[in-house]
Copies of this chain bind each other. A is one copy, B any other.
Amino acid sequence: MRSLLLLTAVALLIGAAPEKKLLTPTDIVTAAPGAAWKTIAADDLLVLDLKSGGRVVVQLAPQFAPVHVANIQALARGKYWDGATIYRVQDNYVAQWGLNESDKPWPAGVTAKPPAEYTRALKGLSVKPLGYADPYAPGAGFVNGWPVAYSPKGGWANLAHCYGTVGVGRNLSPDTGTGGELYAIIGQPTRHMDRNLAVVGRVIQGIGNLSSLPRGTEGLGFYKDKAQYVPIVRIRLASDMPAGERPSYQYMDSASPSFARYIRARANRLDDFYRRPAGGVDLCNVQVPVIERPNVPLRRD
């Protein structure tokens, strides 16, 4: 009996497929204690209300692209996006919105030519490593709930282009875009865009309202006729919404034990449906849990 137990223990230690079922990612999210969650500040929530009735909520990432994010906050507060539409939907690539090459003047507080915030310094970031190889960077992991690629030797880090990632549309280099035209990834991760565009956030609610839109038939997925443009009624920061109407969200803390368990579960599915665990997972497929929590008081963690 003892040798059997030891063998089982050894099999588990060396990573052989255990015979018993494991917790699913959903099990782990459901069981995660309150301390495993961090609240997103209302200033960092950009809320798009579509004329169709659908809502898209973007979490902004001031830690990674401070000038571009400050621009976006100023554009929202200055009502720059009145009359904005979604005018480009390219299959397996991006949905893009804004005023589409408008000459409308920038509101106060907008930096017209922001720096290339394609990376930031790795220094100062506390990274939870993914633990598996990433083909796009020497390192990959999570910082405050964000999927991040990085180079200890190069000293840089960047937000990864995953499903739902939001970035700043731009023209050819060295233009970096101002923030007036934004795209969201609606297909497979476009990691080749990492370090070539300014990533400013991610869609945390309603991405299906973008990804299910009709594809544009012109080059790069632009809609052919303006009649096809998808109207956006308004774009606001949650902090500018009436208190009773503000949405509120929490993400799973990258430093929490729950998140470590969650990564392991994403890499090793073994339950009634999955019988052969992959033994690995890629950065974007971890899918950091973000949950709407209407009753959690808003604070900046």
Distance in angstroms from A189 CB to nearest chain B CB is 6
Q: Is the CB of B276 within 8 A of A191?
A: no
Q: Which B residues are CB-close (under 8 A) to A234? A: none
How many residues of A are counted as interface, with CB atoms below 8 angstroms from the partner's CB atoms? 48
Q: Is the CB of A208 within 8 A of B212?
A: no
* CB under 8 Å from chain B, chain A span 180-239: 187-196, 207-208, 211-215
Once the chains are docked, how many angstroms separate the CA of A133 from the CA of B91? Answer: 27
Of A89, A92, A190, A193, most B-chain CB atoms within 10 Å? A92
Among candidates B134, B188, B208, residue contacting A285 with C-beta atoms closer than 8 Å: B188
Q: Which B residues are CB-close (under 8 A) to A91? A: 207-208, 211-212
Q: Is the CB of A163 within 8 A of B192?
A: no
**Is A101 part of the contact surface with B, judged by Cβ < 8 Å?**
no
**Is A82 part of the contact surface with B, judged by Cβ < 8 Å?**
no
Q: Which B residues are CB-close (under 8 A) to A279? A: 136
Seen from chain A, the residues whose Cβ lies within 8 Å of a Cβ on chain B are 89, 91-92, 118, 132-137, 162-164, 172-174, 187-196, 207-208, 211-215, 266-267, 269, 272-276, 278-282, 284-285
Could you list 10 examples of A-B contacts with CB < 8 Å?
A136-B282, A137-B278, A162-B188, A172-B272, A188-B188, A188-B285, A192-B269, A195-B276, A196-B275, A196-B276
Given known contacts A91-B211, A134-B280, A212-B215, what 7 new A-B pairs fall within 8 Å (CB)? Answer: A89-B212, A135-B282, A190-B285, A191-B278, A195-B278, A196-B273, A212-B212
